[in-house]
Amino acid sequence: MDVKNAFLHGPRAWNERFTSFLPNIGFVSSYADPSLFIKQCQDNTVFLLLYVDDIIITGSCASLINSVKAALHNEFDMKDLGKLHFFLGLEIQYLPDGIFVSQLKYANDLIHKSGLDDCHIHTTPCKSGLKLLRDTGVPLQSHDVTQFRSVVGCLQYLTFTRPDISYAVNSVCQFLHNPTDIHLYAARRILKYVKGTLHQGIYYRTCAHPAPNNHSLSALTLQAYCDADWAGDPNDRKSTTGFVLLLHGSPISWCSKKQTVVSRSCTKAEYRSMADTTSEIMWLLLLLHDLHVSLAAVPILHCDNISALALATNPVYHSKLKHIEVDVHFTRNQVKAGSLKLQFVTSKDQLADLFTKGLCLPQHTYLCDSLMLLTSHQAEEGC
């Protein structure tokens, strides 16, 4: 749904008026996300997601949804756009066993805006082992700096459905202040990769979809993978944290970011990555609770560093921990409380590698496939 003339009265005033009205018709705000509102009526639930003047409404009962729409229409001048197909640049395609989410038009427009309609394509978003330096290359002229910042900003938004470019985009984001032609080339390489994978998006299977090689319905599970590229930034020797959370086998949250402090060992860098991932898991569990979604088992966090796993489960290693911030021990507390399980994963199957380093084509493709990054045709064919 879309609200007409919402900005004539100012976005802040409009938001306050709308959110103040929702409790009158039975909605309560989510603790995890202030933009999400939930209405519970006996065994049925309606969810309302608000973004400025765009609204998504869904739920378990069509008549209850229609009554909510009618109440909103009576109070506000709104337009019902029907079944959700486009939302803030996201494109939603409905398949027999799930949905496919992409940003095809947005990516196409970005490539056209960058003048790369007829460019050759790249098969990976960055070179294997990419390490961009601060002072290499020729500084860009002012108009090229503006173009660089615009492209990188647009690429950041594209990562909403393209986790495969997250690391490469994070790398070029480090140079927004004083970019050079080398950094611009790296950004354009990402665009050339996107051009070759325009139709790629994320496939989300329904919970009723059978598990592989099993005729029974698959249980809803939450798994996470975390990794760190120790001292990976040659400019300041800070490490890169990468993680991805998968619900029912598809990614719902991911991150590639530089750590705020220098880690003195690989283990400490991995441990900090685990803490960031654990925090995201706890937030997601709170959101799932608000959505009345239950999991079949305790979430599992996969890590490929044995020492970091030991630190998170065994308090004997105190001497190795004294230089790590107290809040990093958040992971150990959650493991002890039974809210989280840790599990070792081999480097080959470490999905978070996609968010911490540039990969060669075979491994990049393997991880993309593992994250259900497909075309809509592949998803429909059940690949």
Q: What is the pLDDT of residues 42-51, one digit of tens each?
A: 889 999 999 8
- Of the chain, the end-to-end C-alpha distance in Å amounts to 33
Q: Is the pLDDT of residue 58 over 90?
A: yes
Contact 334/286 with Cβ under 8 angstroms?
A: no
Q: Is a pLDDT exceeding 50 seen at residue 217?
A: no
For residue 204, which of 117, 96, 338 has the smallest C-alpha distance? 96
- Whether 78 and 62 have beta carbons less than 8 Å apart is answered as no
Q: How many Cα atoms are found within 13 Å in the side-chain-facing hemisphere of 198? A: 15
Domain ranges in the chain are 2-82, 218-349
Angstrom distance (rounded) from CA 302 to CA 274:
9
Measured CA to CA, the distance from residue 123 to residue 190 in angstroms comes to 10
Kind of pairing, strands 200-205 and 98-102? antiparallel
Contact between residue 343 and residue 172 where contact means Cβ atoms under 8 Å apart: no
| Spatial distance between the Cα atoms of 302 and 309, rounded to a whole number of angstroms | 9
Q: How many CA atoms lie within 13 Å of 26's alpha carbon, on the beta-carbon side?
A: 14
The structure tokens listed for 216 are: 């029974």
Q: What is the pLDDT of residue 3?
A: 64
HEC string for the chain: CEECCHHHHCHHHHHHHHHHHHHHHCCEECCCCCCEEEEEECCEEEEEEEECCEEEEEECCHHHHHHHHHHHHHHCCEECCCCCCEECCEEEEEECCEEEEECHHHHHHHHHHCCCCCCCCCCCCCCCCCCCCCCCCCECCHHHHHHHHHHHHHHHHHCCCCHHHHHHHHHHHCCCCCCEHHHHHHHHHHHHHHHHCCCEEEEEECCCCECCCCCCECCCCEEEEEEEECCCCCCCCCCEEEEEEEECCEEEEEEEEECCCCCCCHHHHHHHHHHHHHHHHHHHHHHHHHCCCCCCCCCEEEECCHHHHHHHHCHHHHHHCCCCCHHHHHHHHHHHHCCCEEEECCHHHCHHHHHCCCCCHHHHHHHHHHCCEEEHHHHHHCC
pLDDT in tens, 33-42: 999 999 998 8
Q: Please, what is the average pLDDT of the chain?
A: 88
pLDDT band at 226 (very low <50, low <70, confident <90, very high): very high
Whether domain 218-349 has CATH 3.40.50.150: no
- Same-fold call for 2-82 versus 218-349: no
The yes-or-no verdict on residue 282 having pLDDT over 50 is: yes
CB 304 within 8 A of CB 347: yes
Q: Is the pLDDT of residue 124 over 70?
A: yes
Q: What is the pLDDT of residues 300-354, one digit of tens each?
A: 999 999 988 888 877 655 555 555 666 567 888 899 899 999 999 999 999 999 9
pLDDT range class, residue 215, cuts 50, 70, 90: very low
**Range ranked top by mean pLDDT from 249-258, 263-272, 287-296:** 249-258
CB proximity list for 306: less than 8 A, separation 6 or greater: 344
Structural tokens at position 362: 């075979």
Which residues, including other chains, have CB under 8 Å from residue 228's CB and lie 6 or more apart?
239, 240, 241, 242, 259, 263, 266, 269, 270, 272, 273, 305, 356
Q: What is the mean pLDDT of residues 189-195?
A: 97
pLDDT tens, residue by residue, 135-175: 899 999 998 999 999 999 999 999 999 999 999 999 999 99
Predicted pLDDT at 213: 39
Pick from 187, 207, 193: nearest CA to 361:
193
Class of domain 2-82: alpha beta
Closest CA to 134 of 237, 223, 209, 42: 237
What's the pLDDT at 307? 86
pLDDT at 84 over 60: yes
Span of 152-156, 216-220, 268-272, 370-374 with lowest mean pLDDT: 216-220
